[in-house]
């Protein structure tokens, strides 16, 4: 086959794929989607993916916010303390996706009330981490209190208002965190790996690209996930598997330190007792990496949403090279 034929075929494939994706959004009863926190780490790629899927996207931002919203999106800067202003901003919207900052997850109640008043039919709250419905670690439960209570409220309100449905999405860690240089026990600068217990405990990761695909899939077929808290899994891996790939990709020697999960528990509790919320990271090491933690998602909603798992090696290589999959 000539090179030009390959290019033509590739263009056709891309075009067909785009048409299929747009068709999925066109077939959804949800057309107008408001994103809270659109300028954030998750919000930015989320807006792009929703637009590419054919949704009409509006970004809701705090009045006076210094953030720069993504290009090409309608922006409504609103005083979140004003129920009328919020209701007005949500009039005509079919869905509300919150990608608000972790520290502001307790401030999502007014969005739910305004969404009910405006007739919004689906809310996706700002979860996007570990499963807050099943988390039992006392320290993490305390840290995730505002997320847990918010989903309780959403559940209660959707029962009272059948027109309102919700979907909670848990995706474990963002794989992209590795790009910051210190994710999952790997310090890329000092080439030091901190392995918890044996390092063989399986856990889930998902790239931001994967997480936003999950949101698009939920909004494209909302009936499949109405009033459910779902888990999606990009990839299942272990610290030792990541270490092997990172060693291959970065070359050179890595210092490997072994730390018992009990140590993280002890340090986390000590920090928590002093009001030092960096204990979250210590507790996460216990929750996900400790031998026997059992946190890998066994029945993720991937099939339901048509999401394929990501290959750990290819994804990590792409992330280390500055991209994503
Ligand atoms: N699984 C993981 O590894 C992982 C990692 C990080 C985050 N997450 C989760 O993903 C979700 C989004 O997090 P993110 O890191 O993308 O958020 P982010 O970038 O920290 O912030 C998102 C947006 O929230 C708004 N915001 C910030 N402070 C606020 C406040 N005090 N009150 C109201 N709005 C405020 C801002 O939007 P405006 O300025 O436009 O108002 C900001 O751009 C959260 O639920 C978080 O827990 C998961």
Q: pLDDT tens for residues 120-178? A: 999 999 999 999 999 999 999 999 999 999 999 999 999 999 999 999 999 999 999 99
Is residue 27's pLDDT more than 80?
yes
Predicted confidence (pLDDT) at residue 24 exceeds the cutoff of 70: no
Going from the Cα of 247 to the center of ligand 1, the distance in angstroms, rounded, reads 32
C-alpha of residue 226 to centroid of ligand 1, in Å: 24
| Sign of the CA dihedral running 28, 32, 37, 40 | positive
Of 102, 109, 145, 184, best ligand 1 pocket probe by most atoms within 8 Å of the beta carbon: 102
Q: Which two tokens stand for residue 244?
A: 């092997």
The tokens of 265 are what? 């528990």
User: What's the whole-number average pLDDT of the chain?
Assistant: 92
For residue 105, the CA-to-ligand 1 centroid distance in Å is: 8
Among residues 167, 156, 149, 196, which one has the least CA distance to residue 292?
A: 196
- Ligand 1 pocket (Cβ < 6 Å) reads 37, 39-43, 61-62, 65, 67, 99-102, 104-105, 107, 126-129, 171, 173-174, 177
If you measure from the C-alpha of residue 221 to the centroid of ligand 1, how many angstroms do you get, rounded to a whole number? 25
pLDDT of residue 323: 64
Out of 40, 208, 215, mutate this one to test ligand 1's pocket (max ligand atoms within 8 Å of CB): namely 40
Take atom 40 of ligand 1 and give the residue whose Cα is closest. 61
Q: Of all atoms in ligand 1, which is nearest to the CA of residue 174?
A: 3
Pocket test for ligand 1, best of 35, 36, 42 (most atoms within 8 A of CB): 42
Cα–Cα nearest to 112, from 129, 100, 128? 100
pLDDT at 21 over 70: no
- Pair 63, 37: CB distance under 8 Å: no
User: 187: CA distance to ligand 1 center in Å?
Assistant: 24
For residue range 270-324, list pLDDT tens digits in order: 999 999 999 999 999 999 999 999 989 888 999 999 999 999 999 999 999 886 6
Distance 43 CA to ligand 1 centre (A): 8
Distance 100 CA to ligand 1 centre (A): 4
């Amino acid at each position: 086959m000539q090179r030009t034929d390959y290019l033509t075929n590739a263009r056709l494939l891309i075009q067909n794929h785009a048409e299929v994706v747009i068709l999925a959004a066109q077939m959804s009863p949800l057309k107008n989607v408001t994103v809270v926190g659109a300028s954030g780490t998750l919000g930015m790629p989320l807006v792009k993916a929703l637009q590419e899927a054919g949704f009409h996207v509006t970004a809701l931002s705090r009045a006076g916010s210094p953030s720069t919203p993504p290009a090409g999106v309608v922006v409504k800067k609103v005083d979140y303390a004003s129920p009328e202003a919020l209701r007005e901003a949500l009039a005509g919207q079919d869905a509300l996706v919150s990608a608000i900052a972790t520290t502001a997850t307790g401030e999502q109640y007014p969005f739910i009330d305004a969404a009910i008043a405006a007739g919004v039919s689906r809310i996706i709250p700002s979860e996007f981490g570990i499963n807050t419905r099943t988390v039992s670690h006392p320290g993490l439960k305390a840290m995730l209190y505002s997320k847990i209570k918010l989903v309780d409220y959403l559940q209660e309100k959707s029962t009272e208002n059948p027109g309102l449905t919700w979907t909670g999405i848990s995706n474990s860690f963002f794989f992209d965190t590795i790009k910051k240089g210190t994710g999952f026990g790997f310090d890329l600068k000092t080439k030091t790996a901190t392995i918890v217990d044996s390092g063989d405990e399986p856990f889930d990761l998902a790239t931001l690209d994967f997480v936003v695909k999950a949101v698009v899939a939920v909004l494209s077929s909302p009936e499949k996930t109405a009033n459910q808290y779902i888990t999606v899994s990009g990839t299942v891996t272990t610290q030792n598997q990541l270490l092997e790939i990172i060693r291959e990709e970065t070359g050179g020697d890595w210092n490997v330190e072994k730390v018992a999960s009990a140590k993280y528990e002890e340090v986390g509790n000590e920090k928590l007792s002093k009001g030092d919320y960096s204990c979250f990271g210590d507790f996460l090491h216990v929750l996900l990496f400790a031998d026997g933690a059992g946190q890998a998602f066994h029945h993720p909603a991937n099939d339901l949403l048509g999401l394929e798992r990501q290959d750990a090696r290819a994804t990590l290589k792409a992330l280390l090279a500055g991209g994503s999959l």
